[in-house]
Structure 1
């Protein structure tokens, strides 16, 4: 886990996931899935090659031709109307990828997490989508009044087999920035990047929310207590350590600290619906000349991150998820988890790629061994037809003999397994 100080005391991290031990408790599958939808399985993995196995752990897709639905709740609802929104994560595609979505969605009320699906209304969609030779784009879409708006120009996504970092920033000043691997690819105003719907009414600036209006939807459950057996001490004194005989007795000896094997993580109370919640207060609306809606791209309440993709080939790894309102924190997190080890990952990939190629060559040579023998026999002159026929018959007889031996061996093994079961 990577820990940095936020840039200021008012900044918040609403979701951060590096798939440390115990990550499973932060993620869930929807309870209801549409009939006919086959869900694939995830696992925490850094894949078959990596620069740092811990830093590069992520959710790896495991099954071909499956849908993947998974979500994780924010620590608290995120109101982005007067804050910057930063979404960031890393993606690595499998070496044999054909068609695979690797984008994420941010959602909020009135969505129900337990019913999260590809039909759930989302607020933001962001990330790479790969399919075939022609489609490799970075999606940026915003939900607004039951419709979805995408960026006007296509933004390519990386289709290689290295890790890449994707960052989306929607600022309260209505500017948008998209970064890939920390480098700015798009930096525009919202109204220039999207065809923003125009409105004829706006909130009355003189309309004031009543002082007793409670618009906090979720509150901490005061009755939720930390379990007695919850272990939140990340480090403990090494029980096997002992004071060296040569240690200076005039000094206090302190055993070294080690990682606590029973460490579960920091305990946090759950959130429950606020019984005094009156709803999201909205001011009175007044008519104006048609103008782009200033609320487009800003949301009252984002509550969870969802993965909703289809993959024909498994092996995609998604990790280092971060949702925050602090740009500097996001920069530091990307550098620590990804940018600092890029060159090492490239070296690891090259070694893995060379080994894979050598293995394929060995398999190819083994499979072509018999084929080469037949080719040599075919090349013999017509004067050697008798000898050629004899060698052909001998080779065929040898192959038939090998098949018979293999069948006998399988029968023997099956009988052995049956007797063991008895």
Structure 2
């Protein structure tokens, strides 16, 4: 019997693996199929580049922003439109901010069918996903479009603050759950309904309820047993300096009436106040009773993209250009997507870190040599 169960389980796994699919994987071996928007003049130029340092020049080649203080808008149609009904949606993107991003986006937009030449910041999208930063405000965005409204994530997870490539992966399931991975490590997870405002609240305040007249709001009161000390001096905070003297050259007609300066009053203790104690009659903050919200409508398919996913676009502003986007993936199975991540980012991340360290060491050596030459010239 156990053998039969094992065979059935194995067959189920094989069936699931056979059905798992990667719909789109952009490795940026070229820019074929990518359409630069014509919706706005003066867009920044996106180029192919592996960056100043890399683990493997071919594998690490991606789409790079090349001009400071520019908007970028470029998009590509998927080989086939994707619907995630009844199955997982897994999207992934790798981003490298080797320039040291100070203000700009590093996210991608996943689009319904649209005219790519008109792609711009107002174009409808189904999902916006990836890192974003401006000053100290940095977060990973996951924004769903639900019934025409773009819903911000209540959470604001941070991402690594360095110049290396990092991989951002989002999984959304038919159980209306989600998972966020950074560099294949689970960072956030939860329920869609709890972490985005897809729906109206199930319950609302009863508009007919009101706070009782005898409700006690004050959490603390004066201690009735505390009394003002007999020696407490209710003196002013400052007094006239008794040692001050009117300057010999003071002219009342020209300078006005002379007034001695004020100094802190050594006798002043300030206004006496009784100490505060917890109020035994305190009932806590009053809240109206909750009633069912007539506008609440349950939706068992929050996970479902409202339209087929047909294109992916990069629509960002960058003050300091140099970000490299790579390995944009759309699939329906996390394990299959992770295989592609292993073969790209996973296969090159250690070499990329070594290359960054070597580049930093070379820069430091060059700076020290330049300073030494300057010192010799001064001598």
TM-score by length of 2: 0.67
Alpha-carbon contact 1:128-1:157 (below 8 Å) kept: yes
| Match of residue 298 from structure 1 | 304
Q: Which of 63, 74, 87 is equivalent to 1:83?
A: 87
- Distance between the aligned counterparts of 2:146 and 2:159, measured in 1? 25
Deviation of 1:297 (Å): 3.7
What 5-or-longer segments of structure 1 have no aligned partner?
201-287, 374-422
Deviation of 1:33 (Å): 1.7
| Match of residue 190 from structure 2 | 188
Alpha-carbon contact 1:199-1:291 (below 8 Å) kept: no
SS at match of 1:295: coil
Structure 2 residue 132 is the aligned partner of structure 1 residue 125 = no
Change (3 A) 1:6 1:355: farther
Deviation of 1:366 (Å): 5.0
| Match of residue 112 from structure 1 | 115
SS at match of 2:189: strand
Deviations 1:323-378 (A, max 9, x none): 111221101111111123322221111001111222233445556766x45xxxxx
Q: Which of 344, 347, 354 is equivalent to 2:351?
A: 344
- Listed as ranges, the matches of 1:245-264 within 5 Å are none
Which has more radius of gyration?
2
- The number of residue pairs the alignment matches comes to 274
Change (3 A) 1:73 1:7: farther
Q: Which of 153, 156, 165 is equivalent to 2:155?
A: 153
Alpha-carbon contact 1:55-1:337 (below 8 Å) kept: yes
- Distance between the aligned counterparts of 1:292 and 1:361, measured in 2? 65
SS at match of 1:48: coil
Structure 2 residue 21 is the aligned partner of structure 1 residue 12 = yes
SS at match of 1:72: strand
Deviation of 1:71 (Å): 0.7
Deviation of 1:294 (Å): 2.9
| Match of residue 286 from structure 2 | none
Alpha-carbon contact 2:174-2:301 (below 8 Å) kept: no
Structure 2 residue 325 is the aligned partner of structure 1 residue 323 = no
| Match of residue 333 from structure 1 | 340
- Listed as ranges, the matches of 1:44-123 within 5 Å are 44-109=48-113, 111-123=114-126
Change (3 A) 1:364 1:298: farther
SS at match of 2:297: strand
Alpha-carbon contact 2:94-2:167 (below 8 Å) kept: yes
Change (3 A) 1:368 1:28: farther
More helix as a share of residues: 1
- Listed as ranges, the matches of 1:171-210 within 5 Å are 171-198=173-200
Deviation of 1:95 (Å): 3.6
Alpha-carbon contact 1:130-1:159 (below 8 Å) kept: no
- Distance between the aligned counterparts of 1:292 and 1:364, measured in 2? 68
Change (3 A) 1:15 1:6: farther
Alpha-carbon contact 2:88-2:332 (below 8 Å) kept: yes
Deviations 1:290-346 (A, max 9, x none): 234333341231100010001111211110111111221101111111123322221
